[in-house]
């Protein structure tokens, strides 16, 4: 029996990037997956997933997680359809690089409204259904950026990702007696469209060289894959991690280990 068999999982931002990696791994482990995503790519992603996993239950809803009432309505539909919601992965998030002094309030609020308030909205909609279960798991996508490290231009993003660690710990304490575990994943560089976008934002003539340069600064000399992150999410979502709650788990190829920029001799 696969470790997520019979479980119903909601994954936000599952149409691409880390979210898509999580969705694919969950499907491999026999979960029934519902994607919430604002991207126009959702339908294309669903078509591809249905071809790749023809015998699996996979569906999606186009929704802006800033819309609290719409989120609540969709989560209610999911519960009514399947009779239970066992796993929530709060993956949806945004990152736009801009210095603190140059960042507009609109871009600041864009980060806060999606990365923090959006996560809050979906979690609040799902928790009442999870309380009906004997065991449930919430996995929040934080980052090493904010809680551990930061680069110039990441103030808004780093603030939101650090906030998600506090959210994870506070919620874990409140829900522990309801048999709901709450943990966070703190990725370093995973090769996603967001990372490709950051590379392009540097205005380098060859964005691939930017990514290769990032890889050289990581002890493992490579970026992580979305499937590797997905396997960590599956572990935290399953009973294999039944004694883990309120934790932030780093997956970064060792990028936060070196004391200096030089990692070789």
Catalytic residue among 38, 79, 157, 189: 157
Q: For the chain, list the domains and their CATH numbers.
A: 8-188+225-251 (3.40.50.720), 189-223 (no CATH)
What are the pLDDT digits (tens) for 133-156?
999 999 999 999 999 999 999 999
DSSP H or E stretch at residue 12: strand 8-12
- How distant, in Å, are the alpha carbons of 2, 9, 120, 193, 237 from that of 90? 22, 11, 9, 18, 12
3-state SS, residue 48: helix
Percent of the chain with pLDDT over 90: 89
Residue 264 predicted with pLDDT over 50? no
Model pTM score: 0.94
What are the pLDDT digits (tens) for 58-113?
999 999 999 999 999 999 999 999 999 999 999 999 999 999 999 999 999 999 99
* 157 annotated active-site: yes
What confidence score (pLDDT) does residue 9 get?
99
What are the pLDDT digits (tens) for 159-210?
999 999 999 999 999 999 999 999 999 999 999 887 887 777 766 678 788 8
Tokens 């736009």 map to which residue?
Answer: 96
Contact 166, 216 (CB under 8 A): no
Q: pLDDT-derived band of residue 265, with 50, 70 and 90 as boundaries?
A: very low
Residue 53 predicted with pLDDT over 50? yes
């Amino acid at each position: 029996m696969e470790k997520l068999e019979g479980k119903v999982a909601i994954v936000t931002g599952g149409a691409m990037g880390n979210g898509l990696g999580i969705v694919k791994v969950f499907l491999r482990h026999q979960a029934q997956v519902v994607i919430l995503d604002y991207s126009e790519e959702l339908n294309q992603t669903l078509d591809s997933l249905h071809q790749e996993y023809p015998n699996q239950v996979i569906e999606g809803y186009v929704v802006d997680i800033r819309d609290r009432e719409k989120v609540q309505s969709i989560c209610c539909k999911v519960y009514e359809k399947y009779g239970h919601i066992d796993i929530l992965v709060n993956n949806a998030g945004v990152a736009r690089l801009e210095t603190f002094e140059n960042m507009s309030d609109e871009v600041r609020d864009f980060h806060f409204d999606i990365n923090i308030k959006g996560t809050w909205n979906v979690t609040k909609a799902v928790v009442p259904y999870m309380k009906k279960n004997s065991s449930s798991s919430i996995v929040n996508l934080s980052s090493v950026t904010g809680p551990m490290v930061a680069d110039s231009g990441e103030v808004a993003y780093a603030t939101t990702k650090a906030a998600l660690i506090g959210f994870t710990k506070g919620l874990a304490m409140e829900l522990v007696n309801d048999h709901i575990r709450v943990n966070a994943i703190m990725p370093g560089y995973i090769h996603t469209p967001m990372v490709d976008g950051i590379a392009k934002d540097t205005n380098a003539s060859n964005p691939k060289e930017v990514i290769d340069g990032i890889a050289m600064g990581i002890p493992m000399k490579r970026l992580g894959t979305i499937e590797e992150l997905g396997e960590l999410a599956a572990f935290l979502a399953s009973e294999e991690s039944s004694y883990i709650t309120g934790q932030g788990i780093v997956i970064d190829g060792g990028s936060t280990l070196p004391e200096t920029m030089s990692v070789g001799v």
